[in-house]
Amino acid sequence: MQTVTILGATGSIGCSTLDVVARHPQRYRVFALTGHQRVETLMQQAKVCMPRYVVLADESHYQKAKTLAEEMGITADILCGASALEDVASASEVDIVMAAIVGAAGLLPTLAAVRSGKRVLLANKEALVMSGSLLVDAANQSGATILPIDSEHNAIFQCLPRDYAYGRLADSGVTQILLTGSGGPFRTRALDTFDAITIDEACYHPNWSMGRKITVDSATMMNKGLEFIEACWLFGVQPDDITVVLHPQSTIHSMVQYTDGSVIAQLGEPDMRTPIAYGLAYPQRIEAGVAPLDFATLTSLEFSTPCQQRYPNLQLAIDACREGQAATTRLNAANEVAVGAFLNGQIRFTDIASVNEETLNRLEPLSVSSLQHILEQDSSAREVANHIVRGLSSC
């Protein structure tokens, strides 16, 4: 029996994790659930899986959660705040931490889990984008295992040799990592109509069911850019070792190309329970509730190269990756501000990339070597991005 803390339990990844865990009550029990604003959903989850702790990131929801707990007969201790998130991520009783808090808010509890030597199922790509060097160094020191849960990175992990040595692709006979992306809902839309893209249109994905922020990131392909940066840290590779390939069917989740000409791909239905189950049980495999692919119904598999004009955010991310940690930290911060502004109706869809690029241009290049430096860069970029958004909103 292994104990699991789920950071971000009410999001799509958290809900899928609970679904997989519920299928294997003899293997897993939930130690803690954490959430942000969806208090009713969080307490309903707690009633079902009976965790020891329920943690709210926002202290203003404490009384509501306490009242619901009493009404629903929930006996879990209810905690609040950032330090409580870190506590349930690093508790000695915990074996596995699902890191699924969206955005920069997930960095500190994820880092706490890594420093405590946990098996960390990393679904929060921003943690690596913001501070990949810190997380990798912390894992090396603590003995933590970081397993990727993003479908693409999980696919790459499955396609690499089991004895792959971090950062040594050539020694494993690997020539290239092929990172696939669907291209989002605007892959074929006329470029001269992008200014008119609505919030509802950007929040629709043809293949995946995700939260609003990550769905907008998929539409701009910033999501793929963040995954590009994440892959460099996860596998210890350079930007030139990765090629992004558009694959609108989302059937092949990513591929690895070998010296002898072989390409090994991981295929499956677009359902996050597959990589979640793989991470929970690794190196074993368990039932995830996902139907196998029916090859008789597959009509075609398409591939193409992403268009830089259509997806400027992707190129911004690749360029930031080449520049270094400070640039990727700033880009992530700017993008969170820009997407939030778009979802609030303050800026147009095409302004997202403009805010991101202008933020990077206004800040001087530098190196970062500590968590404090990273948090300072995150804060500076948000301040600049918010200033840019205000200027666009007033036009």
Q: Tell me the residue ranges of DSSP E strands in the chain.
A: 2-7, 28-35, 53-56, 77-80, 96-99, 119-122, 145-148, 174-181, 242-246, 252-258, 263-267
Per residue in 206-216, pLDDT (tens digit) is 776 677 888 99
Residue 259, domain member (yes or no): yes
| Domain final residue pick, 148, 173, 192 | 148
CB proximity list for 117: less than 8 A, separation 6 or greater: 142, 143, 144
Instruction: Specify whether 197 is located in the same domain as 74.
Output: no
Residue 211, marked binder: yes
Residue 61, domain member (yes or no): yes
How many domains, in total, are found in the chain? 3
Instruction: Specify whether 109 is located in the same domain as 144.
Output: yes
Residue 380, marked binder: no
Are the C-beta atoms of residues 125 and 13 closer than 8 Å to each other?
no
Residue 282, domain member (yes or no): no
**pLDDT, position 209:** 66
Neighbours of 394 (CB within 10 A): 7
Residue 41, marked binder: no
- Residue closest to 316 by CA, chosen among 337, 305, 334, 331: 331
| Domain final residue pick, 148, 169, 201 | 148
Instruction: Specify whether 25 is located in the same domain as 43.
Output: yes
Residue 205, marked binder: yes
Residue 77, marked binder: no
Residue 304, marked binder: no
Instruction: Specify whether 124 is located in the same domain as 8.
Output: yes
Residue 218, domain member (yes or no): yes
Residue 283, domain member (yes or no): no
Residue 11, marked binder: yes
Instruction: Specify whether 179 is located in the same domain as 112.
Output: no
Residue 110, domain member (yes or no): yes
DSSP string, 253-289: EEEEEETTS-EEEEE--S-THHHHHHHHHTTS----S
Q: What is the CATH number of the domain that holds 385?
A: 1.10.1740.10
Residue 100, domain member (yes or no): yes
- The CA distance from 97 to 74, in Å, is 22
Are the C-beta atoms of residues 14 and 100 closer than 8 Å to each other?
yes
Instruction: Specify whether 21 is located in the same domain as 124.
Output: yes
Per residue in 53-94, pLDDT (tens digit) is 999 988 889 999 999 999 999 999 999 999 999 999 999 999
In three-state secondary structure terms, 96 is: strand
Instruction: Specify whether 76 is located in the same domain as 130.
Output: yes
Owning domain of residue 214: 156-268+292-297
Q: What is the pLDDT along the chain (395 residues), one digit of tens a residue?
A: 999 999 999 999 999 999 999 999 999 999 999 998 899 999 999 999 999 999 998 888 999 999 999 999 999 999 999 999 999 999 999 999 999 998 778 899 999 999 999 999 999 888 888 889 899 999 999 999 999 999 999 999 999 999 999 999 999 999 999 999 999 899 999 999 999 999 999 998 777 667 788 899 999 999 999 999 999 999 999 999 999 999 999 899 999 999 999 999 999 998 999 999 999 999 999 999 999 999 998 888 999 999 999 999 999 999 999 999 999 999 999 999 999 999 999 999 999 999 999 999 999 888 888 889 999 999 999 999 999 999 998 76
Instruction: Specify whether 119 is located in the same domain as 208.
Output: no
Residue 201, marked binder: no
Instruction: Specify whether 6 is located in the same domain as 122.
Output: yes
- The CA distance from 127 to 121, in Å, is 12
Instruction: Specify whether 134 is located in the same domain as 16.
Output: yes
Instruction: Specify whether 72 is located in the same domain as 196.
Output: no
Write out the two tokens for 142. Answer: 């603590």
- Match 């963040």 to its residue by tokens: 226
- The CA distance from 369 to 25, in Å, is 42
- The CA distance from 11 to 40, in Å, is 13
Residue 364, domain member (yes or no): yes
Residue 10, marked binder: yes
- Match 């970029």 to its residue by tokens: 381
- The CA distance from 75 to 51, in Å, is 8
Residue 224, marked binder: yes
| Domain final residue pick, 297, 314, 335 | 297
Q: What is the CATH number of the domain that holds 142?
A: 3.40.50.720
- The CA distance from 98 to 147, in Å, is 10
Residue 379, marked binder: no
Compute CA distances 208 → 161, 190, 273, whole Å. Answer: 28, 22, 12
Instruction: Specify whether 20 is located in the same domain as 116.
Output: yes
